[in-house]
């Protein structure tokens, strides 16, 4: 275990003005609090907080963060409390320790908790002080380094959580080295065979080709010396998980995979970065489409670098990153560079981003998302995304995730522009909205008054901001449409019993059905969450239950045994007046089919189950649901007129479902309650006569429906 003196020495190397007494006091306090506690490996527990603190010294972080690392488990796992930590080490440290404690208690991968809600809490913690996440990431890194002491099932859980959440979070914060190590440690747990296979192939490749890294770095240094450029050159093989992911994405074997080696050139000035790029491209052939200039277009987390891929020795592709020392510090530390110290003072790195602004830009688009699952989807989309940079016609730059479309670009400008988007021009050429944008393209959004978001846009958009805005607009549009439709359904249903759907009647129904107001009642009625029959019955129960001289539905079928019940087959929905056949169920009861129902063929070898039945000849109540399939014009007022026609034929609409929407027509299913087949024929004739009805037919079998005879 690293001693207090050794830890202080690590801090003093980059911060000679560190408060050694505070660090030593925190070390002693943490060691005392954790005394008698042990890790799964059998080591004293305090070895873990010390290791976390040592990891953070590599980022040259301030004293408060190092002290927080030493104490990050004291409030949760020892007798220490917030007040004691605050009194001894100050409010700043106490708040940071408390923040880490709350994050530790979020079981982000647990099936028993709401992962999306916990993600939201994680982002809230980040917004208060990003150093909480820095400590938590270092905590997770050390736990992954020592994960073999855990039970296998616990290892798998932590590894999946690391791969899904902490590794991409580290990458999004610009700490690429940590992301790569977390991914590789998780990969080692989740797929040890795959990782070993990659390592074995590396060993074989090195045996066959020799030390490629040493040769290429030597060649680069020589070329830079010739050009008079002073720079450091480093090379390395990419991590096993990075190679494995490339193999999966490109569906290629290891032998066909290129750019498995990466090289980094650290220059003294930005000008030297571009000189280095020219020197490398003169010496080696550049690979088309593999050049990115993050110096002129930096990432949102402050990352700046030039990326290029060239064909090196033996035609092997190698990736080269070119940056200055200050850019390199940000590339290694990411957002953490804001707190980095050098020679006792906080580093004035012009490329380090303000953490408050960074987290605000990352969380802004999630604030309005009410649905937790959609929030989680949006977070993951943003955390895993690479970025492309596109220009507006005026030259302004928009940063978008890789794979973004003009829809994403429109919403990145403004939600209003996104909603009104009808087309786009990329580099002056009209393109479909599903076109994937590339770096450096100029995008012009074409808008039209009256345009609204389409459902299909959800399949086109990739950014969380765009998808959130589209969903919200669709929900609002659906609600407005459902309210209008519900009003027509209610009016038709009340007219069916010779009543009017007045505001007072609807308010009474809303109270009776325990619905929050008339608007909500109509929206739920239009969305088929409740039926029109339920609404009318809530106000006039005596009218909806009155039978008079009508045949009781219980006595509607003749030919059943005493006490035997029947039900109408869902495949053909027989109506009084049609010839019917009964099929006994295994148990008690009979399912009634029309005589021409195709399903009867299934029972030809079970004639003992057939029952000779027929409808009662009396007048039947309008309670027999029948489904109609209609194709109607997409014009204002058409649906209302259809509902009115159905109501005028004394039929009650019990359900309505849109199954296809096109710019010029709708196709929908309407379930109507009828008396008999004559009323059905009369209704179909009436609807066919309506000019806005393109087609109407009785729908005899619902897709996927299953007969209930067993």
* CB-CB contact of 319 with 346 (8 Å): no
> Is 25 noted as a catalytic residue in this protein?
no
| Run of H or E including 407 | helix 406-413
DSSP state of 618: S
- Annotated catalytic residue within 58, 76, 529, 550: 76
Give CA–CA dist 137/103, Å, rounded: 11
Give CA–CA dist 461/405, Å, rounded: 6
Give CA–CA dist 436/237, Å, rounded: 31
Give CA–CA dist 385/381, Å, rounded: 6
Helix (H, G, I), strand (E, B) or coil at 448: coil
- Annotated catalytic residue within 77, 84, 270, 377: 77
Instruction: Count other C-beta atoms under 10 Å from residue 454's C-beta.
Output: 17
Give CA–CA dist 365/348, Å, rounded: 30
Give CA–CA dist 599/603, Å, rounded: 8
| Sign of CA pseudo-dihedral 621, 625, 631, 632 | positive
Give CA–CA dist 374/463, Å, rounded: 12
Of 416, 417, 421, the closest CA to residue 460 belongs to 421
> Is 139 noted as a catalytic residue in this protein?
no
- β-partners of residue 693 are 632
DSSP letter for each residue of 624-659: EEEEEEEEEE--TTHHHHHHHHHHHTT-EEEEEEEE
Of 483, 479, 485, 474, the closest CA to residue 655 belongs to 485
| Sign of CA pseudo-dihedral 633, 637, 642, 643 | positive
Instruction: Name every residue whose Cβ is closer than 8 Å to that of residue 512 and which is 6 or more positions away in sequence.
Output: 538, 539
Of 705, 688, 568, 682, the closest CA to residue 629 belongs to 688
Helix (H, G, I), strand (E, B) or coil at 310: strand
Instruction: Name every residue whose Cβ is closer than 8 Å to that of residue 139 and which is 6 or more positions away in sequence.
Output: 48, 52, 69, 72, 100, 104
Helix (H, G, I), strand (E, B) or coil at 633: strand
Computed over its alpha carbons, how large is the radius of gyration of the chain?
35
Helix (H, G, I), strand (E, B) or coil at 568: strand
Backbone angles phi, psi at 295, to 5 degrees: -80, -50
Give CA–CA dist 256/247, Å, rounded: 9
DSSP state of 239: P
Calculate the alpha carbon distances from 188 to 182, 200, 241, 609 in Å. Answer: 10, 14, 9, 62
Backbone angles phi, psi at 386, to 5 degrees: -90, 175
Residues identified as active-site: 76-77
């Amino acid at each position: 275990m690293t001693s207090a003196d050794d830890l202080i020495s690590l801090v003093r190397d980059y911060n000679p003005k560190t408060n050694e007494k505070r660090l030593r006091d925190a070390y002693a306090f943490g060691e005392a609090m954790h005394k008698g506690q042990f890790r799964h490996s059998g080591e004293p527990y305090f070895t873990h907080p010390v290791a976390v603190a040592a990891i953070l010294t590599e980022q040259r972080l301030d004293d408060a963060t190092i002290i927080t690392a030493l104490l990050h488990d004291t409030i949760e796992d020892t007798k220490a409390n917030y007040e004691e930590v605050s009194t001894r080490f100050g409010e700043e440290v106490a708040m940071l320790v408390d923040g880490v404690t709350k994050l530790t208690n979020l079981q982000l991968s647990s099936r028993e908790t709401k992962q999306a809600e916990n993600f939201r809490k994680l982002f809230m913690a980040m917004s208060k002080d990003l150093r909480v996440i820095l400590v938590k990431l270092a905590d997770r890194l050390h736990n992954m380094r020592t994960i073999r002491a855990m039970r296998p099932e616990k290892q798998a859980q932590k590894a999946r959580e690391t791969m899904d959440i902490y590794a991409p979070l580290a990458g999004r914060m610009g700490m690429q080295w940590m992301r790569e190590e977390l991914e590789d440690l998780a990969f080692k747990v989740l797929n040890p065979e795959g990782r070993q296979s990659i390592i074995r192939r590396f060993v074989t490749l090195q045996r066959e080709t020799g030390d490629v890294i040493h040769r290429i770095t030597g060649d680069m240094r020589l070329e830079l010396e010739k050009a008079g450029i002073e720079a450091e050159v480093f090379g390395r093989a990419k991590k096993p998980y990075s190679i494995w992911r490339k193999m999966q994405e490109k569906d290629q074997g290891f032998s066909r995979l290129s750019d498995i080696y990466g090289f980094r050139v650290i220059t003294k000035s930005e000008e030297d970065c571009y000189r280095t790029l020219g020197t490398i491209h003169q010496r080696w052939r550049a690979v088309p489409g593999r050049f990115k200039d993050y110096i002129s277009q930096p990432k949102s987390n402050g990352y700046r670098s030039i990326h290029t891929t060239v064909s090196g020795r033996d035609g092997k592709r190698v990736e080269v990153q070119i940056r200055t020392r200050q850019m390199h510090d940000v590339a290694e530390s990411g957002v953490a560079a804001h707190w980095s110290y050098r020679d006792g003072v906080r580093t004035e790195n012009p490329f380090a981003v303000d953490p408050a602004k960074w987290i605000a830009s990352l969380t802004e688009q999630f604030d309005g998302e009410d649905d937790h699952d959609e929030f989680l989807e949006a977070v993951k989309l943003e955390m895993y995304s690479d970025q492309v940079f596109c220009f507006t016609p005026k030259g302004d730059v928009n940063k978008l995730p890789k794979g973004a479309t003009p829809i994403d670009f429109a919403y990145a400008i403004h939600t209003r522009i996104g909603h009104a988007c009808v087309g786009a021009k990329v580099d002056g050429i009209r393109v479909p909205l599903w076109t994937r944008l590339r770096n450096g393209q100029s995008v012009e959004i074409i808008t039209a008054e009256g345009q609204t978001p389409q459902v299909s846009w959800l399949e086109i958009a990739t950014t969380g901001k765009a998808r959130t805005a589209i969903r919200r607009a669709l929900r609002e549009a659906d609600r407005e449409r459902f309210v209008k439709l519900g009003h027509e359904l209610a009016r038709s249903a009340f007219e069916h019993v010779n009543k009017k759907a007045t505001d007072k009647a609807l308010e009474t129904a809303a109270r009776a059905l325990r619905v929050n107001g008339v608007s909500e009642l109509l929206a739920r009625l239009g969305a088929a969450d409740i039926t029109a029959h339920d609404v009318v019955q809530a106000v006039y129960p005596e009218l909806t239950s009155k039978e008079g001289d009508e045949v009781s539905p219980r006595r509607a079928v003749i030919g059943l045994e005493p006490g035997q019940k029947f039900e109408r087959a869902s495949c053909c929905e027989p109506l009084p007046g049609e010839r019917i056949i009964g099929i006994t169920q295994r148990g008690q009861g009979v399912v009634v089919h029309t005589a021409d129902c195709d399903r009867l063929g299934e029972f030809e070898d079970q004639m003992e189950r057939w029952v000779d039945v027929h409808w009662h000849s009396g007048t039947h109540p309008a309670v027999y649901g029948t489904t109609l399939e209609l194709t109607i014009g997409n014009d204002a007022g058409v649906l209302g007129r259809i509902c009115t026609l159905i109501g005028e034929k004394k039929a009650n609409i019990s359900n309505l479902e849109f199954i296809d929407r096109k710019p010029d027509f709708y196709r929908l299913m309407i379930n109507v309650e009828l008396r008999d087949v004559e009323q059905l024929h009369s209704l179909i004739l009436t609807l066919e006569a309506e000019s806005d009805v393109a087609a109407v037919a009785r729908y005899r079998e619902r897709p996927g429906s299953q007969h209930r005879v067993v």
